């Protein structure tokens, strides 16, 4: 099957849960015999098209004039057979396609810029006018590329599915004020324009069905598979936190909880991430008198380094009031580390875990409740072991071996491909 995955942000040049998932999906679909293009902004040096192997390294650049998989000029490698059809073999890879030049995605305040999605939408339209695929999977956000692809691919009779990390709905008005009504309307138009949708959490799926009752929605979580580091010292009093420094991530709640913990116990906090709210958060730590107990690690260059930090923590805390899935929290579960998570209607993570069984939940924004949850971990005998066992059960359902067949089944349905007819 010829598959296009469309997302403006491309890993490893842009790092985030969505980017990691698109990359991992492309690698594994290619390894299973599919011909895969990841269509994004051109973040890399050199030609606008390049071949990637299954380990994230460039194999060779594709020629700028190449007409795509199946065209006469497509470079034939160990994984490409006649007409670009993927063949069995360990060296199969996927193609990165730069549909337009890269551009900074975020403003200084952490909000998405308006111009890059328009630039990307134009590049995406040019790309799909020239090339054909068996199925196109486009991230619904940013909305403009998806909004343009709906009529274009319908006219070209090319199957399309949209992947949703979140549905914001009325939150757009809180986020953008009066302008948010326009964004809310565009989100609704995108949802109702496409027939097929893939949601990464039950929360997102339910909101998507409410937004577009006639749509076909399948819930498939983003895979959360981690490489467990070795030789890491586990500190039961080390708390891990990971995410972008934005107001809704609510790290100050954890700083307040840290200030409430006993001073005679060696509690420390490791914060992974950066963003516009970081100076304010550091000032808050100073005001609470806990600045000497917080390590501000910034963005780490590799996922493996993030995993090493989380693996060394006695607890990982997710304080955010908005999460489409909550990747860092689920990564903690996959590492066997206790997760303490804010319970909030906008946090999808709580749809994957059970309080007291696979994680500890506390009311979002409640510093005292968060502090008490951390003390339970330190003092309640057997609690860590019970949570680790529950976490393992959750993590098993988020491994690629569980996720990938569901994604393929969805693509088969979207493309109208009979099950069992694809070559392996």
Residues 386 and 305 in one domain: yes
**56 shares a domain with 44:** yes
In a domain, 305, yes or no: yes
111 located within any domain: yes
Same domain, 130 and 270: no
* 142 and 284 belong to one structural domain: no
* HSE toward the beta carbon, residue 306, CA cutoff 13 A: 22
Q: 170 with 244, same domain?
A: no
Instruction: Note whether residue 46 is domain-resident.
Output: yes
User: Is 423 contained in some domain?
Assistant: no
- Do 276 and 190 lie in a common domain? no
Residue keyed to tokens 């030609």: 47
Are 178 and 209 part of one and the same domain? yes
Position 420 in a domain: no
Sign, CA dihedral 332-337-341-345, equals: positive
Give yes or no: residues 328 and 410 share one domain: no
pLDDT of residue 49: 96
Domain shared by 204 and 239, yes or no: no
- Cβ atoms of residues 296 and 267 within 8 Å: no
Query: pLDDT by residue (tens digit) across 335-351?
Result: 989 999 999 988 888 88
> What is the total count of domains within the chain?
2
**Same domain flag for 96 and 42:** yes
Are residues 305 and 366 both part of a single domain? yes
132 and 280 belong to one structural domain? no
50 within some domain: yes
Structural domain including 149 reads 2-223+399-415
**pLDDT tens sequence across 75-126:** 222 223 323 333 334 457 999 999 999 999 888 777 788 899 999 999 999 9
Which of the residues in the chain have pLDDT under 50? Answer: 55-90, 423-424
pLDDT of 78: 28
- Number of separate helices (H) and strands (E) present in the chain: 13, 15
What's the CA gap between 236 and 233, in Å, rounded? 10
Strand, helix or coil for residue 35: strand
pLDDT for res 419: 57
CA distance readout (Å), 126 to 64, 118, 275: 14, 13, 33
Residue 115, domain CATH: 3.40.50.2000
Strands (E), 223-321: 235-242, 268-272, 294-298, 313-318
- Does any domain span residue 217? yes
Q: Domain for residue 137, yes or no?
A: yes
Structure tokens given for 11: 């890993």
Strand order in the sheet with 49-52: 58-62, 49-52, 94-101, 35-42, 2-6, 135-139, 160-164, 196-199, 216-219
């Amino acid at each position: 099957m010829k598959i296009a995955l469309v997302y403006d942000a491309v890993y490893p040049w842009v790092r985030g849960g969505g980017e990691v998932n698109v990359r991992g999906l492309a690698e594994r679909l290619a390894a299973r015999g599919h011909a895969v293009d990841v269509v994004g902004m051109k973040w890399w040096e050199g030609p606008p098209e390049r071949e990637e192997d299954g380990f994230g390294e460039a194999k060779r650049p594709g020629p700028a004039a190449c007409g795509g998989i199946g065209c006469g000029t497509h470079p034939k490698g160990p994984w490409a057979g006649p007409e670009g059809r993927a063949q069995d073999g360990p060296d199969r890879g996927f193609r990165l396609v730069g549909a337009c030049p890269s551009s900074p995605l975020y403003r200084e305040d952490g909000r998405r810029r308006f111009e890059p999605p328009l630039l990307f939408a134009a590049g995406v339209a040019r790309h799909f006018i020239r090339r054909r695929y068996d199925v196109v999977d486009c991230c619904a956000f940013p909305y403009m590329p998806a909004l343009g692809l709906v009529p274009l691919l319908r006219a070209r009779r090319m199957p399309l599915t949209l992947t949703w990390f979140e549905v914001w709905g009325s939150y757009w008005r809180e986020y953008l004020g009066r302008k948010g009504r326009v964004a809310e309307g565009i989100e609704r138009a995108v949802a109702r324009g496409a027939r097929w949708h893939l949601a990464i959490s039950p929360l997102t799926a339910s909101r998507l069905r409410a937004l577009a009752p006639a749509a076909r929605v399948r819930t498939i979580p983003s895979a959360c598979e981690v490489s467990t580091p070795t030789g890491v010292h586990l500190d039961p009093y080390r708390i891990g936190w990971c995410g972008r420094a934005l107001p809704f991530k609510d790290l100050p709640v954890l700083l307040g909880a840290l200030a409430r913990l006993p001073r005679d116990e060696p509690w420390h906090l490791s914060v992974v991430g950066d963003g516009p709210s970081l100076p304010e958060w550091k000032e808050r730590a100073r005001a609470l008198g806990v600045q000497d107990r917080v390590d501000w690690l910034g963005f780490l260059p590799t996922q493996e380094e993030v995993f090493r930090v989380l693996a060394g923590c006695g607890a990982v805390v997710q304080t955010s009031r908005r999460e489409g899935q909550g990747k860092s929290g689920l990564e903690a579960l996959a590492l066997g580390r206790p997760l303490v998570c804010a319970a909030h209607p906008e946090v999808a993570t709580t749809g994957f875990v059970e309080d007291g069984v696979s994680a500890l939940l506390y009311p979002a924004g409640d510093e005292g409740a968060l502090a008490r949850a951390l003390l339970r971990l330190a003092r309640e005998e057997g609690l860590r072991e019970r949570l680790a066992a529950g976490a393992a059960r959750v993590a098993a359902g988020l491994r690629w071996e569980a996720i990938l067949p569901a994604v393929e089944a969805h693509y088969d349905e979207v493309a109208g491909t009979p099950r069992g007819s694809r070559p392996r």
